[in-house]
Amino acid sequence: MGTFDEKIGKCVTRRNATADPLLNAAILLDTISRLQGGKLFPMGVYKFSSFEEADKWALKMMASTREHRD
């Protein structure tokens, strides 16, 4: 079956305590912005009949390139 000499709660990996999650998020958002030409959504005010419709539109805008939106 195996040996049971290992301690319970053994740490397999360690989390990098020096990493700053806010800095990582800012870097990710900057990268997305540069890849999409600076804008995630076209400027303006939008009105939707439901949250589902708004979510669908937002995903479509994030996935499309700037050329497809113009």
Residue 64: inside a domain:
yes
Do the domain assignments include residue 14?
A: no
Give the chain's domain count: 1
Distance CA 53, CA 70 (A): 20
pLDDT, tens digit only, all 70 positions of the chain? 566 676 677 677 777 667 788 888 888 888 887 877 766 667 788 899 999 999 998 888 777 755 544 4
Domain of 67, in residue numbers? 41-70
Give pLDDT, residue 52. 94
User: Is 23 inside a domain boundary?
Assistant: no
CA distances from 24 to 19, 27, 37, 40, 60 (A): 8, 5, 20, 19, 25
